[in-house]
Amino acid sequence: MLDAIEAVDWARIPGPAGWYRPDLAASGLRALATATGLVQAARAGSVLAGGGLVHDHSGGVFPAVVTAAPILLAIARHGHPEAGATALGLLDDALAFATHDRRTRVATPYAEAVPICCALADHLRGSTDLLATCGLEGKHLRADAAEHWRFDVHEIIAGSDGDGALAFGALAGRFPDDGPQAAELHLAGRAIPLERVVLHYPPEDGSPDACLHITGVRPHELAPPAVLFPARCAPGPEAR
179-212 pLDDT, tens digit per residue, is 899 999 999 888 999 999 999 999 998 899 999 9
Q: Identify the band that residue 161 occupies on the pLDDT scale cut at 50, 70 and 90.
A: low
- Cβ contacts of 204 within 8 Å, gap of 6 or more: none
217 vs 88, which has greater pLDDT?
A: 88
Please report, for residues 28, 104, 115, 165, 237, the alpha-carbon distance to residue 12 in angstroms, rounded to integers and kept in the order given.
17, 16, 19, 40, 29
Q: Tell me the whole-structure pTM to 2 decimals.
A: 0.92
Environment class of 112 (CB within 10 Å of its CB; exposed 0-12, middle 13-18, buried 19+) = middle
Residue 163 has pLDDT above 90, yes or no: no
| Separation of CA 126 from chain center | 10
Residue 239 has pLDDT above 50, yes or no: no
Residue 240 has pLDDT above 60, yes or no: no
Angstrom distance (rounded) from CA 12 to CA 23:
11
Angstrom distance (rounded) from CA 65 to CA 119:
10
The conformation of residue 174, written as its DSSP 8-state character, comes to -
Give the pLDDT of residue 133: 93
- Cβ contacts of 12 within 8 Å, gap of 6 or more: none
% pLDDT > 90, the chain: 80
226-230/60-61 β-pairing: unpaired
Residue 236 has pLDDT above 80, yes or no: no
Q: Quick: pLDDT tens for 63-109.
A: 999 999 999 999 999 999 999 999 999 999 999 999 999 889 999 99
Cα 141–147–151 angle (5° rounding)? Answer: 120
